[in-house]
Amino acid sequence: MFTSNHCCYLLPLLWREKGTYYALHLGGTYFRILRVLLGDQRSYLDVQDVERHPIPSHLMNSTSEVLFNFLAFSLERFIEKEENGSDSQGVRRELAFTFSFPVKHTSISSGVLIKWTKGFEISEMVGQDIAECLQGALNRRGLDMHVAALVNDTVGALSLGYYHDPDTVVAVVFGTGSNACYLERTDAIIKCQGLLTTSGSMVVNMEWGNFWSSHLPRTSYDIDLDAESSNANDMGFEKMISGMYLGDIVRRVILRMSEDSDIFGPISPVLSEPYVLRTNSVSAIHEDDTPELQEVARILKDIGVSDVPLKVRKLVVKICDVVTRRAGRLAAAGIAGILKKIGRDGSGGITSGRSRSEIQMQKRTVVAVEGGLYMNYTMFREYMEEALVEILGEEVSQYVVVKAMEDGSSIGSALLVASLQS
């Protein structure tokens, strides 16, 4: 069903070494640094410190050196704060680099950038080894830190989900962008046939943001948004379902309506600015429960649309609802597609070679989900979960558990590093 860039990982998470591990996560809007402590007992996992900062926008189209120097500097500050004056000379720190852009892996700790997405545009980095860039910047700052793993964010989320609950076989991120990965039988991966793993399974990073099909109906708003984006003809699915874009779809609908009618008053020049309406504002509009829709009025004023009557404010809420409902339902269709592929949708799956008993017995299936859109936009989450039940049916849905994993991608990546130490 989906296009894939075929990144496959082993998941040896049941073995992990106690100690302190670090993760640096470069998302589309934020970067996060965290430290986790693993104890002797398998269940002991303590997330000790988490920092989350917006990525300064000028870095998104700067140079490789500027970006990685900034990340290394941020890590240095994080460590200085942690040490608080104590001398930890000679302590080498193991770091997971959680990177939420498409990468062609060359090993667990190296991989080259295939392309940028989500508005990043540092062209010299395409084809470069991302982990090496970070390691180089850490070395230049004299930080004794080792980039032990380069991990896609979905794989990090799956790792944490799997660590807590081995029925976790799918992980999906709905943040600035969107992506999914799932656990697949090695012999069902054509590219990996003959490759043996101890568990018999591998994680497939789908890069589903780039899924496309002629059956996926696109509106003129989707077409225009894509054409005017920095990655035209790319990431079509992501552009319909993720946080970076939902606000801009809504903005385009309001702009068209204000051009075609006078319900919004004079055309606001601000409304013509791409991405001026953020998805955070879409959820604030959608969830405005004041009787006069004052929050809607305030947000519209910020984009140059003032003094519109309540009836028009209600229309704006409706636009947000339609755009978000579509996104939630498409997201659910994506998850259902994965469950179908691995035989967890009650049908037995697309992949041949499953035994009859495997097909007939519906297993408990956990889908780990993370990302700011899912975590913070209640209506998106509800539409997605409602549609998933609708597609799977009540009976199969009882076996499918959708679990939110806050910071799952970073914590899970640190766990992967721990599993590499033993």
Query: Would you count residue 343 as binding Mg ion (CB under 5 A)?
Result: no
Strand locations in 212-370 (E): 365-370
Q: Select the residue interacting with ligand ADP from 120, 237, 377, 399 (CB under 6 A).
A: 377
Asked whether 159 and 13 are in contact (CB, 8 A), the reply is yes
Q: Quick one: three-class SS letters along 135-200?
A: HHHHHHCCCCEEEEEEECHHHHHHHHHHHHCCCEEEEEEECCCEEEEEEEEHHHCHHHCCCCCCCC
Query: Would you count residue 209 as binding ligand ADP (CB under 6 A)?
Result: no
153 is catalytic: yes
Query: Would you count residue 412 as binding ligand ADP (CB under 6 A)?
Result: no
Asked whether 246 and 238 are in contact (CB, 8 A), the reply is no
Cβ-based nearer residue to ligand ADP, 95 or 391: 95
Q: Select the residue interacting with ligand ADP from 229, 283, 410, 419 (CB under 6 A).
A: 283
- Interface mask (CB under 6 A) for ligand ADP, residues 262-281, using x and -? -----------------xx-
Cβ-based nearer residue to ligand ADP, 201 or 210: 210
Q: Which residues pair with 380 in a beta bridge?
A: none
262 is catalytic: no
Query: Would you count residue 177 as binding Mg ion (CB under 5 A)?
Result: no
| DSSP states along 311-340 | HHHHHHHHHHHHHHHHHHHHHHHHHHHHHH
Q: Select the residue interacting with ligand ADP from 16, 21, 29, 238 (CB under 6 A).
A: 29
> In what side-by-side order are the strands of the sheet with 30-38?
45-54, 30-38, 19-26, 93-99, 145-151
Q: Select the residue interacting with ligand ADP from 304, 328, 346, 371 (CB under 6 A).
A: 371
Query: Would you count residue 205 as binding ligand ADP (CB under 6 A)?
Result: no
What letters, b where the CB count within 10 A reaches 16 and e where it falls short, cover 110-119?
A: bbbbebbbbb
> One of 16, 93, 109, 153 is an active-site residue; which one?
153
86 is catalytic: no
Query: Would you count residue 243 as binding Mg ion (CB under 5 A)?
Result: no
Cβ-based nearer residue to ligand ADP, 7 or 342: 7
> One of 16, 35, 93, 100 is an active-site residue; which one?
100
Q: Select the residue interacting with Mg ion from 2, 8, 22, 27 (CB under 5 A).
A: 27
Q: How far apart are CA 221 and CA 256, in angstroms?
A: 9
- 201 binds, options ligand ADP, Mg ion, none, Cβ within 5 to 8 A by partner type: none
Query: Would you count residue 175 as binding ligand ADP (CB under 6 A)?
Result: yes
Angle between helix 243-260 and helix 220-227 axes, rounded to 10 deg: 120
In the complex, least distance from residue 324 CB atom to ligand ADP, rounded to whole angstroms: 9
CA 188 to chain centre: 25
Residue nearest to Mg ion (CB): 27
Asked whether 183 and 197 are in contact (CB, 8 A), the reply is no
- 243 binds, options ligand ADP, Mg ion, none, Cβ within 5 to 8 A by partner type: ligand ADP
Q: How far apart are CA 305 and CA 265, in angstroms?
A: 7
- Interface mask (CB under 6 A) for ligand ADP, residues 72-111, using x and -? ----------------------------x-----------
In the complex, least distance from residue 278 CB atom to ligand ADP, rounded to whole angstroms: 7
Residue 120 in 3-state DSSP? Answer: coil
- Find the helix or strand (DSSP H, E) in which 244 lies: helix 243-260
Catalytic annotation, residues: 32, 100, 153
Binding site for ligand ADP (CB under 6 A): 27-30, 100, 175-176, 243-244, 279-280, 283, 371-373, 376-377
